[in-house]
Chains A and B, each alone.
Chain A
């Protein structure tokens, strides 16, 4: 089925470890986004990519890096995980109207 696929769905990291969250969409969308959602809060934008080859910081970029590998894929990397990065991470994509979200990655940093 067409949509946004995120991997992994769950991950536990130790403080200081690194990891990459993967996101891929098969809808030929130009723009892709990474958000984090903390308990009781809305979604906060980490990074976005308006088109292939471009990336820009969002509201909370510190501690993260991104790569727009091609039009389909947009990855989020944590170089040195911290407990404050415990959250649910959502990837989204859009062409003109309306976001399509992935199912999320629940990340715990201990």
Chain B
């Protein structure tokens, strides 16, 4: 089945710094989503981005489907950005998303 790899696995930033998280996938995908899991365990959908670029405030994401990767950019990080960021992909012909193992981000005040 399709494999999803995220990097880096862990990231520590000082408040105000920028960062880039990467998601690589092993095969063609129909859809791709980015999620944030906060320290209390709640999962929030950030982006639905099968291709192209989207922006939402300090966050933006780019997916290059032909090269099988997606990037999540966090600018001017805040302590509330801490948590785990997951990438998930939906392979063609299926209705199921497969998740990567996540990037654990800690933003220090």
A binding-site residues for B, Cβ under 8 Å:
31, 33, 35, 40-45, 48, 50, 56, 58-59, 88, 90, 92, 97-101, 103-104
Contact = CB atoms under 8 A, between A and B. Distances in A.
Size range of the chain B interface in the assembly: 20 to 34
Interface stretch (B12-20, B42-50, B55-63, B68-76): B42-50
A98 B56 CA distance: 15
The 3 closest A-B pairs by CB, nearest first: A42-B99, A101-B43, A50-B95
Contact of B97 (A56, A99, A104): A99
Contacts of A101: 35, 42-45
Contact of A98 (B33, B42, B100, B102): B33
Contacts of B25: none
A97 B48 contact: yes
A45 B96 contact: yes
Contacts of B86: 42-43
Given A42-B101, A42-B102, A99-B33, A58 B45 contact: no
A93 B31 CA distance: 15
Contacts of B41: 88, 103-104
B99 A43 contact: yes
A40 B95 CA distance: 25
Of the candidates B41, B42, B96, the one having the most CB atoms from chain A within 10 angstroms of its own CB is: B96
Contacts of B100: 42
Contacts of A99: 33, 35, 43, 45, 88, 97
A103 B97 contact: no
Nearest to A57: B96
A52 B31 CA distance: 22
